[in-house]
Amino acid sequence: MYRFSIDGEEWILRFSPQVLIETDEKQAILMSLLHISKTLAEFSHGNAFIMFTNKIGAIVFEVARIPSFILTVSNIVPEENWYVQEKNSFKPLK
């Protein structure tokens, strides 16, 4: 769990138990969030969003504002598990 501040608001970043990543990857996720810090204030309680990174993959976040500002990394999907729709079928992104 990490604590950070954006415009005077204290946030908590936590990771679901099924998300097994190294400490350096967790810190990279935190740094990525700081790049979009102004946007975080726009998310309402119960919203979710995805960030795509070259190193980690698709990172799924859930937003909670009650009882405090909490972002939970609920899952990470590596790029080899991404699929894209083409007409009536799906194929791997890469």
DSSP state of 9: E
pTM of the full structure: 0.87
- pLDDT of 94 > 80? The answer is no
Q: What is the pLDDT of residue 66?
A: 85
Residue 73: burial class (beta carbons within 10 Å; 0-12, 13-18, 19+): buried
What 3-state class would DSSP assign to 31?
helix
What percentage of the chain has pLDDT greater than the value 70? 100
Residue 55: burial class (beta carbons within 10 Å; 0-12, 13-18, 19+): exposed
| CATH top-level class of 2-92 | alpha beta
pLDDT band at 42 (very low <50, low <70, confident <90, very high): confident
User: In angstroms, rounded to a whole number, what is the distance separating the alpha carbons of residues 28 and 26?
Assistant: 5
- pLDDT of 8 > 90? The answer is no
Residue 93: burial class (beta carbons within 10 Å; 0-12, 13-18, 19+): exposed
